[in-house]
Structure 1
């Protein structure tokens, strides 16, 4: 029986309707993921007031959401490697959307907190499954760019949640954010059902003789002639069916690579969570800058984040990831140190904030994209989910430092200098990853192919 290389087939496809359909749906998934994760924090006072509770009572809700996000990353995301990306994404969108809509009718803040925790389980699984789907549907020479566009949707969702706080709360109440957060994922379901097929690479590794693979290939490219007895393979694979196992990310020489990636994600997302929670308060408590003034300047930084995400996607289609990503994290460190040294009133401060957002969002986007390069399709969703889970744990722990810094009357310069050390460690970890034999071979092969097909 003849072998048909599905990986080569996907890589030689021109960007057309199938790839754009996957991008659109996954962009919506990433948008609502970013919207919902950051939405509650921005409308927390309105939620507390709506239930007649003090703002500090929201602590339980935040805790439930973080626990749900961590559980989903470790438990739900890996299921996409067993039951399929599209099937699990449909399930996650339906469940998350339904629970979010039901949250509108919560009678107490405790009920809302529990529902938020349940929603978080499925919310956190959306991003890794969407990125896995994009990485397997897109030609290699455009893969990083497409992933970057999807991650820009995540950043846009975060910014859109601020618009809810600014314009909709006063008219429609805190429930307006939950209506949007519930309706958009449900709208993704018919798009997934009718326009997005299951990942060819996933199906090939699960069952190389699946006749449905041939039908999908011929729908994508009518010029392909198939005899009907093909065994579908991925690159050098032998055509043997391989089912995903949870521990695959540690097998076949991947243990050291996975450990480094988890440590890098832990520190990177810990840094993001710490600054998201405390940076405005640092400037208010340590430098006398009102939160409202800082918020206006921070809105400008959103543009830097989008550019950072798109830029690293473009560059990773051309430059080895383990060489490129450390420069972004060194940039984060430099920007944080400069933020503590330069006066808030100085015109250059806006430029520093823009550069910080550019480097931080681009660096984390680069880490996510790197994961899609170094793991094979059968375990890609698990790898993304578990790396994100490690990052979620960092996001739970790191904000403690902010409270300690303020309670101990640290100066702004000392606080930001301490925080600036963290991205330097991430840069070193990613550089070390480039010296790992398994990761190095995967990344070099990725860039060589990209250059050859660009």
Structure 2
């Protein structure tokens, strides 16, 4: 329990970071985990369902699979716009309201997608919806990390990210079992309903205390939230709330904005994370949108058969996420993430040369999911915990934004180009393995720069004074 201290001027200083870190894991923390995990489930479902039923959607719109590149392109344009705009908005007005806006907007536009009649209509709807669902992961992780005790923070984030993988598995259920019964529209209906369900769930949890303190230490809602979390906590009124060693803002001091990411001491970390996310998320986007199609067109494997193995390999993704969350605080996180991406590259190449459906292929597929999802969990954790609350959503959101830009360039161009050039499956999978190797190198270099510690520079930046008028 955080104990307020009584300095001069009869004003009580109250360390909110100590209060959060000292709390036991109880029903409120579990509820927060559930709500944030639900938000990530929606994000994972939407990212993966479209690619898994892409040929069926194309057939329903009287188009060839290669023609769907426009839909993929505009989806990732929207996701990039959302990644660069929504997280800074969450750093300004709060995590909860922006998450609710994103969930509602995505839900409405997803249902509208079920009524699309042409590729152009689908591209417009998916592009606009991308603005909303792309921000769910960075803002959701920010809310969860800021309200979870430090000793369980990385593990809770890993548990929440498992729901991202669960969303992928749920999209596999749609592809394997519901597609023939209800048609390609079923994915859009499920995604839309899930978005609407998330809105009331968000009002079951409080706004981030770290956010409130970083924006306005005198906000009366801080004391109200603390009393709700712990009625026994002594709150007398007039407390000066602060976060650990971060000094409260003085009158006339400017608040840190997203451009702080490009200033010392964050500049090098930011640039490396941007490059790593560009390659890692670009690869994920390529695989999410084109992998079933590659195996169907280049290997003659039906979508339903591939979807079944993809669901089985989901266990690998869940295990990789849990492993990463458990080991991040116990081993050098950078070397751990580097090892994951090296194995990721080897598994991807192996999937291109091993016979489909064999035990060896399934092992390679599970290893790919284990290391891809586990490795991305590690990168998300680096981006989330590597920045202070004032720029946390912007930090992870903008890193993800470069990944969304990669999701525009790589799937829209390279995916359809691979089909047009009639490249062999072994060649395609070998090329897809190269970005994973590059990510391993980048994370290793970041570890050297940060001395092997997450958040080596995560203390809030000193704000620049506002010039006197």
Secondary structure of the corresponding residue to residue 448 of structure 2: coil
Partner of 1:436: 449
Question: Residue 162 of structure 1: CA displacement?
Answer: 2.3
Give runs of aligned pairs for residues 195-274 of structure 1, distance below 5 A. 195-240=204-249, 243-274=255-286
Secondary structure of the corresponding residue to residue 209 of structure 1: coil
In structure 2, distance between residues paired with 1:291 and 1:104: 20
Contact residue 175 and residue 304 of structure 2 kept, 8 A: no
Q: 1:290 to 1:214 in 2, by over 3 A?
A: closer
Partner of 2:165: 155
The CA RMSD measured in Å over matched residues stands at: 2.7
Partner of 1:176: 186
Q: 1:223 to 1:121 in 2, by over 3 A?
A: same
**Alignment of 1:391 onto 2:403:** yes
Secondary structure of the corresponding residue to residue 255 of structure 2: coil
Question: Residue 5 of structure 1: CA displacement?
Answer: 1.0
Q: 1:190 to 1:411 in 2, by over 3 A?
A: closer
Question: Residue 376 of structure 1: CA displacement?
Answer: 0.6
Task: Give the structure-2-normalised TM-score.
Answer: 0.87
Count of residues in correspondence between the two structures: 445
**Alignment of 1:305 onto 2:317:** yes
Question: Residue 441 of structure 1: CA displacement?
Answer: 6.7
Partner of 1:20: 30
In structure 1, distance between residues paired with 2:212 and 2:266: 23
Question: Residue 286 of structure 1: CA displacement?
Answer: 5.9
Partner of 1:421: 434
**Alignment of 1:276 onto 2:285:** no
Secondary structure of the corresponding residue to residue 25 of structure 2: coil
Contact residue 143 and residue 317 of structure 1 kept, 8 A: no
In structure 1, distance between residues paired with 2:399 and 2:315: 26
- Answer with 392-401 or 14-23: which moved more: 392-401
The Cα offsets for residues 79-126 of structure 1, whole Å up to 9 and x where unpaired, read as: 100110011111111222222233344455433331221111101011
- Answer with 310-319 or 136-145: which moved more: 310-319
In structure 1, distance between residues paired with 2:111 and 2:220: 39
Question: Residue 226 of structure 1: CA displacement?
Answer: 2.1
Secondary structure of the corresponding residue to residue 391 of structure 1: helix
Question: Residue 57 of structure 1: CA displacement?
Answer: 4.4
Any unmatched runs of 5+ in structure 1? 447-454
Partner of 1:375: 387
Q: 1:64 to 1:279 in 2, by over 3 A?
A: closer
The Cα offsets for residues 208-260 of structure 1, whole Å up to 9 and x where unpaired, read as: 12121112112111221123221111111111166341202112311111000
Question: Residue 313 of structure 1: CA displacement?
Answer: 1.0
The Cα offsets for residues 42-80 of structure 1, whole Å up to 9 and x where unpaired, read as: 333444444445555433322221211111111122210
In structure 2, distance between residues paired with 1:107 and 1:333: 39
Secondary structure of the corresponding residue to residue 46 of structure 2: helix
- Answer with 281-290 or 347-356: which moved more: 281-290
Partner of 2:17: 7
- Answer with 404-413 or 89-98: which moved more: 404-413
In structure 1, distance between residues paired with 2:247 and 2:223: 18
Question: Residue 427 of structure 1: CA displacement?
Answer: 1.4
Any unmatched runs of 5+ in structure 2? 1-10, 460-469
- Answer with 396-405 or 243-252: which moved more: 396-405
- Answer with 340-349 or 223-232: which moved more: 340-349
The Cα offsets for residues 308-328 of structure 1, whole Å up to 9 and x where unpaired, read as: 112111111323322321111
In structure 1, distance between residues paired with 2:313 and 2:454: 36
**Alignment of 1:71 onto 2:81:** yes
Contact residue 382 and residue 454 of structure 2 kept, 8 A: no
Q: 1:290 to 1:160 in 2, by over 3 A?
A: closer
Question: Residue 333 of structure 1: CA displacement?
Answer: 2.1
The Cα offsets for residues 15-43 of structure 1, whole Å up to 9 and x where unpaired, read as: 11221222111111111111112222333
Partner of 1:88: 98
Partner of 1:352: 364
Partner of 2:466: none
Task: Give the structure-1-normalised TM-score.
Answer: 0.89
Q: 1:142 to 1:56 in 2, by over 3 A?
A: same
Partner of 1:164: 174
Secondary structure of the corresponding residue to residue 134 of structure 2: helix
The Cα offsets for residues 247-299 of structure 1, whole Å up to 9 and x where unpaired, read as: 02112311111000000111111222233344455556666666655444333
Partner of 2:333: 321
In structure 2, distance between residues paired with 1:58 and 1:398: 14
Q: 1:409 to 1:185 in 2, by over 3 A?
A: closer
Question: Residue 307 of structure 1: CA displacement?
Answer: 0.9
Secondary structure of the corresponding residue to residue 200 of structure 2: helix
Question: Residue 160 of structure 1: CA displacement?
Answer: 1.1
Partner of 1:449: none
Contact residue 174 and residue 186 of structure 2 kept, 8 A: yes
Contact residue 43 and residue 165 of structure 1 kept, 8 A: yes
Give runs of aligned pairs for residues 103-118 of structure 1, distance below 5 A. 103-106=113-116, 108-118=118-128
